[in-house]
Amino acid sequence: MRLFISIFMIYLGFQLLSANAVEDFSVIDKPNDNGGAIVVSWKEMVAETEKNFFYQIMIAEQEDGPFYPLEKMAYPLKGKGFEVKGYNKEGEESTLVVPNKTYFVKMKVLNGDKSETTVSESEIISVTTKGNFFAFNKLNSFLILIFLTVVIMCFIVYAQRNPHKLFVRRIAGLDAMEDALGRATEMGRSALFVHGLRSVSEIPTIAAINILGKIAKKIAEFDATLRVSNWDPIVQQVSQETVKEAHIEAGRPDTYKSENIFFAAGDQFSYAAAVEGIMVREKPATIFYFGYFYAESLLLSETGAHTGAIQIAGSDAFTQIPFFITTCDYTLIGEELYAASAYLSREPKLLGGLKGQDVGKMAIILILILGTLFTTLGWQGFSKLFWPS
């Protein structure tokens, strides 16, 4: 009888261990990356055992350890793999996985109770990280970039040869710009240009600076005053340079005053408070808002409307455009902000870029129509070509 019970217990122990053994454990270097990650995969355990066990990946820099634990997982991800980008050594800050280094990885199954004893352990697998020169999963992005670049370059060349043949539809907000500046000149008041809250390296800020140049040139021609409020010191410096060049282009370098392009404040709502103060005290005749705005958009444009100024806004901040539409006289929506500088200056480079973007949009419309049609007919192959990485 004792022998029978002993054999039965040993059998149960083996069963328990085998039920919770790590199966199909694999460790690979993450493909299409800079060598800063490894991917760990394993077969999902049976559902009943998941509630009672934890799974823990252990990583080491030497085969004989020490092994550093990663976070415990109650529900392992089936088939998807777990990405390891770093680990914590004892008493040290987070250590990142680096390229061209060999790591040793194993997986432990731990008891779900307080003891957290090891139930089973996988074999140790070594993996050497490697940086890839080309991310093939981003091939579609790369090809679209090449296509758009070629189209834009072709249109720039065409625009340079035939500057008057390229048509751009009317944009009401931009047509009103000259009238608004004329109003400021006639009233003897200043125009105020309010920058959005993004740094100089962001696309909406670059578009806003382009428009600022065109406005500043008109202002210099009209001999009016332009004040430019900035949230970022670097944007302020670039704006100063842009306005200065616009004055030189207009043949009025003497009317440029660097103090008119000022740093208002470095925080969102203090910036709003400072610009609101300027609006109510100086009462500019015209106010421009160009760039990316956040919650301060309504505070600014409502105050501007209260002072009776003509207001023209341009932003690609989807959540703030409604506020500009309700409080400003004219609003440039999204893409119109990027088209503005080409529309105002009719410079071949900018016009070519605008035309190239239109061809890009045409291509996107065609892809969407074909993709939707093929998907409806039951073939996803075409649309998958344009799925993100």
Partner 1 sequence: MSNIDTTTIATSKKSDFLVFAIFFSIIIIVNAILLGSGHLKWGLEGVGIMMGAAFTISLYSFLYKDNPLFKMAEHFYVGVATAYLIIVTWYSVILTDVIYAFRDLTKAPFSSSVFWQMVAIILPTLIGLLVYTRIIPRFAWMSKITFSIIIGFGSGLAIPNLINAYILEQAKPSMTALWTSAGGFEWNAIIVFIGVISTLIYFFFSLEHKGAVGATAKVGIWFLMVSFGASFGFTVMARFSLLIERVNFLFHDWIPLIK
In angstroms, give the least distance from the CB of 179 to partner 1. 21
Handedness of CA 25, 29, 31, 34 (dihedral sign): positive
Cβ proximity to partner 1: between 22 and 351 the closer is 351
Give the other-Cβ count within 10 Å of 12's Cβ.
Answer: 10
153 contributes a contact to partner 1 by CB under 8 A? no
* Interatomic CA distance for residues 228 and 272, integer angstroms: 14
Residues in the chain: 389
SS3 55: strand
Both tokens assigned to 124: 């140790």
In angstroms, give the least distance from the CB of 370 to partner 1. 9
Q: Which of 256, 276, 313, 330 binds partner 1 (CB under 8 A)?
A: 276
Q: What are the phi and psi torsion angles at 89 (to 5°)? A: -85, 155
Residue identified by tokens 């030189």 is: 248
Q: Which of residues 327-366 bind partner 1 (CB under 8 A)?
A: 333-336, 339, 343, 354-355, 358, 361-362, 364-365
How distant is the alpha carbon of residue 248 from its chain centre? 35
9 contributes a contact to partner 1 by CB under 8 A? no
Label residues 91-124 b or e (16+ Cβ within 10 Å = b): eeeeeebeeeeebbbbbbbbebeeeeeebbbbeb
Nearest to 105 by CA among 27, 30, 24: 27
Q: Which of 78, 85, 101, 138 binds partner 1 (CB under 8 A)?
A: 138
Q: Which of 19, 39, 168, 176 binds partner 1 (CB under 8 A)?
A: 168
Cβ proximity to partner 1: between 50 and 202 the closer is 202
253 contributes a contact to partner 1 by CB under 8 A? no
Size of the site for partner 1 (CB under 8 A): 70
322 contributes a contact to partner 1 by CB under 8 A? yes
SS3 195: strand
Residue 39, strand partner residues: 28, 83
Candidate ranges 29-37, 39-47, 173-181, 316-324; the one touching partner 1 (CB under 8 A): 316-324
Q: Which residues bind partner 1 (CB under 8 A)?
A: 138, 140-142, 144-145, 148, 167-171, 199-203, 206, 234, 237-238, 241, 264-267, 269-271, 273-274, 276-277, 280-281, 295, 298, 318-319, 321-323, 325-326, 333-336, 339, 343, 354-355, 358, 361-362, 364-365, 367-369, 371-372, 375-376, 378, 383, 386-389
